[in-house]
Amino acid sequence: MAETIKMPKLGFDMAEGTLVRWVKNVGETINKGDVLAEIETDKATVEVESHADGVVLQHLVDAGTSVPVNNPIAIVGAEGEKVDSAPAAGGQPAPAAPAAAASSSAPTPAPVTQTAAPAATPAPAETGPVKASPLARKVARDRGVNLGSVVGTGPGGRIVRRDIESALKASPAPAVSPASAPIPVYETRTTQQPGDETIQTTKLRQAIGRRLVESKTTIPHFYVTHEYKMEALMDLRKQINGSLPDNEKISVNDFIVKAVALTLRQFPNLNASLSGTNIIRHGAVNVGVAVTVPGGLMTVVVKDTDQKPLRQISGEVKAMAARARDGKVKPEDVDGSTFSTSNLGMYDVDEFIAIINPPEAAILAISSAREVPVVSGGQVVPGWRMKATISVDHRISDGAEAAQFMQALAKYLEEPIRILV
Amino acid sequence: MARITMREAISQALMEEMDRDPAVFILGEEVGVWGGTYAVTKGFYDKYGPERVKDTPIAENAIIGGAIGAAMVGQRPIAELMTINFGFSAMDYIVNQAPKLRYMFGGQFSVPMVIRAVGGGGRQLGATHSQTPDAIFAHFPGLVVVSPGTPADAKGLLKSAIRSNDPVLFLEHATMYQVRGEVPDGEYTIPLGKSTIQRPGKDLTIVTYCKGLELSMKAAEDLAKEGIEAEIVDLRTLRPLDMEPVLESFKKTNRAIVVEEGWKSYGVGAEIVSRIYEQAFDYVDAPILRVAQKEVPLPYNRNLEQAALPQVPDIIAAAKEVLK
């Protein structure tokens, strides 16, 4: 039985990928897990693995083609097996798969989604076969409503115009909707001087630009900074690392990631996403860690961070960061974060603030742990201090909650034994 | 404004045009001495004489062929087919000669001819004499196909048809000669190829013509009692088809049904629906439905005949379905 290999979906906002190179040619034997092709998304070059054993019977797209997510790219089957009809290359989404993909990646079928942020929606369902009338699609497009999160009341659940209208009523569109007035992410300014050099931005750079312009212009950020006493954590880390081989040593950040995850358990409102007028509190705590990669940064994600031991978190972050830097990131490495962290501690940074990674509710910016003079018992003594700043979406939470979160985080960072038990 | 029947309106149009232009004459079966099978030309024979009101043998190809010849040499014949079903006997003249002569002679000849024909079911005339084959004739470029739904339109359109320099097939409905309506006093014409709104509404668009208009107006009244305001677009001319009012209405209501008396397959409704999808796709909020005749030869038995023809409840049901 021949199986179809599809363009994988590598992250929330991936709509299509470019098939850069076929690794296995037609007629070549392929085993489950073997690399079939290389794909370039706006974030990285990724290898697509075959999920079937057999022979590559057909390439359905040419190298260099841009293919929508979930569209078939190749057929793998038994040698000599007849392939009855080649699914259309490129254009048509495969019939069943996108629906499944859309529903499985959407944790909650929220009735409405604020469209200002395509990236702020769990499932970019418009790529799948959402049942909607042409008019509903047009109105949704014009008004910037994501069809994926609108409940259809027409026959068979079809979304019709009235559904879009009630969605808009439930969640008034932002003053500037992206469809009618796209935010100019990059503006052309042509005052080039002799000696200037022009660098074409990479796809990753552009993706970062798009997402963060959108975040900074549509999310009302507020910030709370807290200074943490780090002596105990530094001591504990020294003690633990003393017994670990060099390549397994645990970083300060690993402690912080775990501490953040444990704290988020007490603050479900910050482990959340906005969807229309609803707040979706995520069941899992998946902490994202921003990693510097050539030409930009990516956020790798530790799944169920709160439930994993420190050494495992450390190992996973190391492996994912390495893959990210090599441009070989796997879809699951970058998918599904519910809260992000950004750590510039290694660059001797006193303090900084980060931009929220949509659709998350908040991001934590972690600065350097430094030895500074502190006042203790009326005396100035040396101490380890580290500042961290949380940026929070004011539509979801308020200053008091953010401040309490930062305080609760101190319980772990300042009594780090609690992180271990 | 006078309130007159469809029969009177058509009769007036014919008489006014015959008075106005001596080139206009009538030919057909029983049009003269008998006064027409549906009594449309009653009194014409006495008034205009056998030269201008010609009784013919029962030979439709001769009637239409003769009319074409007369038209080519400067007359303005009005050929009457007792029923459009007999038109099949003259099919070559109707679709293969009349519409093509001007084109094939490079404009040296034109065919300023009107074929008046009676169509439609509901009078228990049996399967071969009750058809509504409008779509077949509207298929052919070069032939203007008109089918009015009100006395006022019938009069104004027939006068335009007689004055047209191209062949016009003018389809009247067998059950509508007694339909009454306001008709403007004095001279007026209605241009061919113009659809019109017969009833304003905001909730859905009913596209129809001829008998379908009569049924749709009744359905719209019933729907209005339930708070549903249907807008009715009357095509009046099937070719050339004027989609302007249809599209304008549809862009407002986003939901439509098409009501025709002919069979659904390959019919007028299919054409209208296709054009809406082609030209107003982004305004479609529900699948557009067609109300049409059941896909059977029309039965003779009265109950079965009525069951096969589209009826007011069918229109109401379709309207509610597209509004879901």
Backbone angles phi, psi at B289, to 5 degrees: -105, 155
Environment class of residue A351 by beta-carbon count within 10 Å: exposed (0-12), middle (13-18) or buried (19+)?
middle
Q: Are residues A62 and A162 in the same domain?
A: no
Highest mean pLDDT among A5-14, A114-123, A325-334, B43-52: B43-52
Under an 8 A CB cutoff, do A135 and B284 touch?
Answer: yes
pLDDT of amino acid A33: 82
Under an 8 A CB cutoff, do A154 and B324 touch?
Answer: yes
Q: Are residues A135 and A42 in the same domain?
A: no
**Domain end marker among A128, A148, A170:** A170
Q: Are residues A285 and A414 in the same domain?
A: yes
Under an 8 A CB cutoff, do A138 and B283 touch?
Answer: yes
Partnered with residue A5 across adjacent β-strands are A74
Residue A153, SS3 per DSSP = coil
CATH number at residue A119: 4.10.320.10
C-alpha B28/C-alpha B44 separation (Å) is 13
pLDDT of amino acid A184: 58
Query: Chain B residues contacting A, CB < 8 Å?
Result: 254, 281-286, 324
Sign of CA dihedral B172, B175, B178, B182: negative
Q: Are residues A244 and A112 in the same domain?
A: no
Top residue of B285, B320, B324 to mutate, by most chain A CBs within 10 Å, is B285
Residue A186 located in a structural domain = no
pLDDT of B53 over the 80 cut: yes
**What residues of chain A lie within 8 A of the CB of B324, using their CB?**
154-155
Q: Angle between the A399-414 and A252-266 helix axes, to the nearest 10 degrees?
A: 130
pLDDT of amino acid A115: 35
- Per-chain mean pLDDT for chain A: 82
Q: Are residues A326 and A360 in the same domain?
A: yes
Confidence of residue A194 (pLDDT cuts 50, 70, 90): confident
Closest residue by Cα to residue A3 from A71, A61, A50, A66 = A50
Which string of DSSP letters, residue by residue, matches B192-257?
TT--EEEE--SSEEEEE-THHHHHHHHHHHHHHHTT--EEEEE--EEETT--HHHHHHHHHH--EE
Do A77 and A3 form a contact (C-beta atoms < 8 A)? yes
- Specify the CATH architecture of the domain B2-183: 3-Layer(aba) Sandwich (3.40)
Task: Report the residue of chain B nearest A154, measured CA to CA.
Answer: B324
Backbone angles phi, psi at B204, to 5 degrees: -155, 160
Under an 8 A CB cutoff, do A134 and B284 touch?
Answer: yes
Out of A59, A221, A282, A394, pick the active-site residue: A394
pLDDT of amino acid A199: 81
The fraction of chain A above a pLDDT of 70, given in percent, is 82
Sign of CA dihedral A227, A319, A40, A202: positive
Q: Where does chain B hold its CATH 3.40.50.920 domain(s)? A: 196-322
pLDDT of amino acid A177: 39
Out of B80, B129, B172, B214, pick the active-site residue: B129
User: What is the distance in angstroms between the Cα of B292 and the nearest Cα belonging to chain A?
Assistant: 22
**What residues of chain B lie within 8 A of the CB of A157, using their CB?**
none
Partnered with residue B25 across adjacent β-strands are B77
Query: A31: which residues sit within 8 A by CB, 6+ positions away?
Result: A50, A53
pLDDT of amino acid A189: 61
pLDDT of amino acid A109: 37
**What residues of chain A lie within 8 A of the CB of B254, using their CB?**
133, 135, 161
Q: What is the mean pLDDT of residues A306-327?
A: 93
Under an 8 A CB cutoff, do B285 and A138 touch?
Answer: no
Tokens at A73, concatenated: 């790219």
Examine residue B240 and say whether the peptide bond preceding it is cis (omega within 30 degrees of 0): yes
For residues A154 and B17, which has the higher predicted lDDT (pLDDT)?
B17
Q: What is the mean pLDDT of residues A390-394?
A: 97
Top residue of B277, B279, B282 to mutate, by most chain A CBs within 10 Å, is B282
Under an 8 A CB cutoff, do B285 and A155 touch?
Answer: no
Summarised one tens digit per residue, pLDDT across range A68-117 is 888 888 888 888 777 654 444 444 433 333 333 333 333 333 333 333 33
Top residue of A150, A160, A162 to mutate, by most chain B CBs within 10 Å, is A160
CATH number at residue A68: 2.40.50.100
Confidence of residue A31 (pLDDT cuts 50, 70, 90): confident
Out of B8, B17, B29, B60, pick the active-site residue: B60
pLDDT of amino acid A13: 61
Give one word for A327, left, alpha or beta, with left for phi > 0 and alpha for psi -120 to 50.
Answer: left
Strands (E), A41-148: 45-49, 54-59, 66-68, 72-77
Residue A104, SS3 per DSSP = helix
ipTM: 0.76
Tokens at A9, concatenated: 């979906």
Residue A223, SS3 per DSSP = strand
Q: What is the mean pLDDT of residues A198-213?
A: 83
The fraction of chain B above a pLDDT of 90, given in percent, is 99
Q: What is the mean pLDDT of residues B242-265?
A: 97
**Domain end marker among A95, A121, A152:** A95
C-alpha B37/C-alpha B60 separation (Å) is 15
Per-residue H/E/C for B48-113: HCCCCEEECCCCHHHHHHHHHHHHHCCCEEEEEECCHHHHHHHHHHHHHHCCCHHHHCCCCCCCCC
**What residues of chain B lie within 8 A of the CB of A138, using their CB?**
282-283
Which string of DSSP letters, residue by residue, matches B169-192?
EEEEETT-TT-EEEE-SSS----T
Please give the CATH topology (third level) of the domain spanning B196-322: Rossmann fold (3.40.50)
Under an 8 A CB cutoff, do A135 and B324 touch?
Answer: no
**What residues of chain B lie within 8 A of the CB of A147, using their CB?**
none
Residue A185 located in a structural domain = no
User: What is the distance in angstroms between the Cα of A303 and the nearest Cα belonging to chain B?
Assistant: 42
Summarised one tens digit per residue, pLDDT across range B94-119 is 999 999 999 999 999 999 999 999 99
Residue A237 located in a structural domain = yes
Summarised one tens digit per residue, pLDDT across range A128-147 is 468 899 999 988 888 888 88
Q: Are residues A231 and A374 in the same domain?
A: yes
Residue B166 neighbours by CB distance under 10 Å: 18
Residue A394 is among the residues annotated as catalytic for this protein: yes
Tokens at A344, concatenated: 């510039």
Give the structural domain span for A255: 204-420
Q: Are residues A260 and A218 in the same domain?
A: yes
Residue A196 located in a structural domain = no
**What residues of chain B lie within 8 A of the CB of A158, using their CB?**
286
Residue A316, SS3 per DSSP = helix
User: What is the distance in angstroms between the Cα of A94 and the nearest Cα belonging to chain B?
Assistant: 23
User: What is the distance in angstroms between the Cα of A164 and the nearest Cα belonging to chain B?
Assistant: 11
**What residues of chain A lie within 8 A of the CB of B283, using their CB?**
134-135, 138
Partnered with residue B233 across adjacent β-strands are B197, B207
Sign of CA dihedral A94, A99, A105, A106: positive
Q: Are residues A113 and A133 in the same domain?
A: yes
Q: What is the mean pLDDT of residues B71-90?
A: 97
pTM: 0.54
Give one word for A10, left, alpha or beta, with left for phi > 0 and alpha for psi -120 to 50.
Answer: beta
Task: Report the residue of chain B nearest A157, measured CA to CA.
Answer: B324
pLDDT of amino acid B319: 98
Residue A63 neighbours by CB distance under 10 Å: 12
Q: How many CB pairs under 8 A join A and B?
A: 27
C-alpha A11/C-alpha A204 separation (Å) is 13
pLDDT of A43 over the 90 cut: no
pLDDT of amino acid A47: 77
pLDDT of B17 over the 90 cut: yes
User: What is the distance in angstroms between the Cα of B288 and the nearest Cα belonging to chain A?
Assistant: 11
**What residues of chain B lie within 8 A of the CB of A155, using their CB?**
286, 324
Task: Report the residue of chain B nearest A153, measured CA to CA.
Answer: B324
Q: What's the order of all strands across the beta sheet hosting A72-77?
A: A3-6, A72-77, A54-59, A29-30
Q: Where does chain B hold its CATH 3.40.50.970 domain(s)? A: 2-183
C-alpha B233/C-alpha B240 separation (Å) is 15
Q: Fill in the DSSP letter of residue B297.
A: P
Do A227 and A350 form a contact (C-beta atoms < 8 A)? no
Residue B229 is among the residues annotated as catalytic for this protein: no
Q: Are residues A267 and A323 in the same domain?
A: yes
Domain count within chain A: 3
Residue A154 located in a structural domain = yes
Tokens at A260, concatenated: 């953040």
Task: Report the residue of chain B nearest A141, measured CA to CA.
Answer: B282
Confidence of residue A187 (pLDDT cuts 50, 70, 90): low
pLDDT of B189 over the 80 cut: yes
Do B191 and B218 form a contact (C-beta atoms < 8 A)? no
Q: Are residues A165 and A87 in the same domain?
A: no
Summarised one tens digit per residue, pLDDT across range A343-391 is 999 999 999 999 999 889 999 999 999 999 999 899 999 999 999 999 9
For residues B182 and A64, which has the higher predicted lDDT (pLDDT)?
B182
C-alpha A23/C-alpha B63 separation (Å) is 76
C-alpha B114/C-alpha B167 separation (Å) is 6
Closest residue by Cα to residue A129 from A90, A159, A164 = A159
Distances (CA, A) of A329 to A31, A315, A335, B191, B245: 21, 15, 11, 69, 57
Q: What is the mean pLDDT of residues A15-26?
A: 83
CATH number at residue A310: 3.30.559.10
Under an 8 A CB cutoff, do A135 and B283 touch?
Answer: yes
Q: What is the mean pLDDT of residues B225-229?
A: 97
Tokens at B3, concatenated: 């309130």
Partnered with residue A76 across adjacent β-strands are A3, A56
Query: Chain A residues contacting B, CB < 8 Å?
Result: 133-138, 154-155, 158, 160-161
Under an 8 A CB cutoff, do A133 and B282 touch?
Answer: no
Q: Are residues A295 and A334 in the same domain?
A: yes
Q: Which of A19-23, A124-128, A282-286 has the lowest mean pLDDT?
A: A124-128
Do B80 and B131 form a contact (C-beta atoms < 8 A)? no
Task: Report the residue of chain A nearest B287, measured CA to CA.
Answer: A133
Q: What is the mean pLDDT of residues A273-291?
A: 92
pLDDT of amino acid A35: 85
Residue A346 neighbours by CB distance under 10 Å: 11
Partnered with residue B259 across adjacent β-strands are B208, B291
Q: Are residues A328 and A362 in the same domain?
A: yes
Helix-strand-coil split of chain A, %, nearest 5: 30, 25, 40
Task: Report the residue of chain B nearest A160, measured CA to CA.
Answer: B285
Give one word for A3, left, alpha or beta, with left for phi > 0 and alpha for psi -120 to 50.
Answer: beta
